[in-house]
Amino acid sequence: MSEFDPEKFEEKYVHYFPELQEAYKRAFETMNEAYDSGLIHAIDQQVLNESEPFYDEGTFTIDLPESPADRVTGVVVDEEKLEAVLDRYVTELQTELRGVFDLEKTAN
């Protein structure tokens, strides 16, 4: 992998698609081991499939689609638990993005 270039991340799917796939895969595996697999699969397929990672000033953020709770179907979960697990999943994804791009030293 070449050195991470924040400017290239603006066209992330052209320059960093394999790295993005790896980060999402790692985050999924970690979350799937720690939480109910049905819920993690639902979040992965119904929320994060429409998410957008961004990089700005040393930080990765994940832009989620509107109303993520309304998107999750096929599992019974209260909104409070869903939000907590989704927040944890996003944090894990940000951690994996830093790791895949070897930016651990800039983690907050």
Please tell me the distance from the alpha carbon of residue 9 to that of residue 64, in angstroms, as a whole number: 18
Q: What is the pLDDT of residues 8-54, one digit of tens each?
A: 999 999 999 999 999 999 999 999 999 999 999 999 999 999 999 99
- CA 53 to chain centroid, in Å, comes to 7
Tell me the two tokens of residue 86: 């989704």
The pLDDT score that the predictor gives to residue 105 is 58
pTM, rounded to two decimals: 0.90
Please, are residues 24 and 45 in contact by the beta-carbon 8 Å criterion? no
Please tell me the distance from the alpha carbon of residue 19 to that of residue 2, in angstroms, as a whole number: 11
